[in-house]
């Protein structure tokens, strides 16, 4: 069985401009028995984040934790909204959301699949657009100036040998918090996952 981490030498020897980006390996599996979730490793193979859902079906609330189990962000489905809308909160606090993620439905299969916007009067926070296909593990998060700040791509065990849809890479530029990028991936999985 191929290892799902760490990065291959070809990725680690990338130019210095790309080295500023953090590349994580995301495994769409919980480390806990009989749970659904995610396990996220850094480029050295260390556990970075985890998501453990105890119910077989999504309860509408998901907690992104660090490696020791400390809650970083809580993701909740917004009730009574037109279309699919999720809210992202700091820690376990579910009073004032930081961001809202809205599913964007397109008839042509390309373009924006989700829009991330700050909630309330948080003018210092950026808006983001997610484009591509999450189900094919090929999508990019753009900031309001159309700069790519995060990217989901398939992970290859060897050149040309993909590991499947449950193991993929999340590349995050320094302008974006890695935990927030992973929370966006969790929402995309709820919207477009199996």
Looking at the structure of the chain, the number of domains it has is 1
Q: What are phi and psi of 18, to 5 degrees?
A: -75, -25
| For residue 23, pLDDT beyond 90 | yes
Q: What pLDDT score does 109 carry? A: 59
Cβ within 8 Å of residue 151, ≥6 positions away: 139, 140, 141, 169, 170, 171
* Structure-token pair, residue 182: 């992973």
Among the listed ranges 37-46, 69-78, 109-118, 175-184, which one has the minimum average pLDDT value?
109-118
Is there a contact between 100 and 114 (Cβ–Cβ < 8 Å)? no
Please give the C-alpha separations between residue 138 and each of 8, 49, 131, 132, 169, in angstroms, as whole numbers: 19, 21, 9, 6, 10
* pLDDT in the model for residue 35: 72
Residue 96 within a domain: yes
Residues 168 and 44: their CA atoms lie apart, in Å, by: 15
Q: How confident is the model at residue 123 (pLDDT cuts 50, 70, 90)?
A: low
Q: Is 2 a domain residue?
A: no
pLDDT at residue number 179? 96
Mean pLDDT computed over every residue of the chain: 83
CATH number at 50 reads 2.40.160.200
Q: Pick the most confident of 15-19, 80-84, 133-137.
A: 133-137
Better pLDDT: 121 or 20: 20
User: What does the pLDDT read at residue 94?
Assistant: 82
Evaluate whether residue 12 is within a structural domain: no
22 pLDDT more than 60: yes
- Is residue 1 situated within a structural domain? no
Spatial separation of the C-alpha atoms in residues 142 and 129, rounded to whole Å: 5
Q: Does pLDDT of 99 surpass 60? A: yes
Identify whether the C-beta of residue 48 lies closer than 8 Å to the C-beta of residue 42.
yes
The string of pLDDT tens digits covering residues 59-91 is: 688 999 999 999 999 999 987 766 789 999 999
Q: What angle do CA 52, 165, 135 make, to 5 degrees?
A: 95
Range of the domain at 114: 32-192
Rounded mean pLDDT, 21-42: 86
Q: Give the per-residue pLDDT at 47.
A: 95
- The average pLDDT across 126-132 equals 94
Has residue 13 been placed in a domain? no
Q: Is 8 part of a structural domain of the chain? A: no
């Amino acid at each position: 069985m191929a290892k799902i981490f760490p990065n291959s030498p070809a990725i680690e020897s990338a130019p210095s401009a790309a080295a500023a980006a953090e590349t994580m390996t995301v495994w769409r599996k919980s480390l806990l028995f009989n749970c659904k979730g995610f396990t996220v490793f850094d480029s050295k193979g260390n556990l970075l984040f985890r998501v453990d859902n105890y119910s077989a079906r999504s309860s509408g609330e998901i907690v992104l934790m660090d490696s020791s189990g400390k809650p970083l962000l809580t993701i909740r489905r917004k009730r009574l909204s037109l279309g699919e809308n999720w809210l992202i909160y700091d820690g376990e606090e579910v009073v004032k959301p930081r961001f809202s993620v809205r599913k964007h439905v397109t008839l042509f299969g390309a373009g924006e699949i989700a829009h991330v916007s700050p909630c309330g009067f948080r003018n210092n926070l950026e808006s983001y657009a997610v484009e591509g296909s999450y189900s094919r593990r090929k999508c990019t998060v753009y900031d309001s100036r159309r700069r790519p700040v995060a990217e989901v791509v398939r992970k290859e065990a060897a050149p040309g040998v993909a590991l499947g849809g449950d193991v993929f890479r999340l590349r995050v530029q320094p302008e974006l918090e890695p935990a927030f990028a992973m929370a966006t991936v969790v929402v995309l999985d709820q919207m477009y996952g199996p």
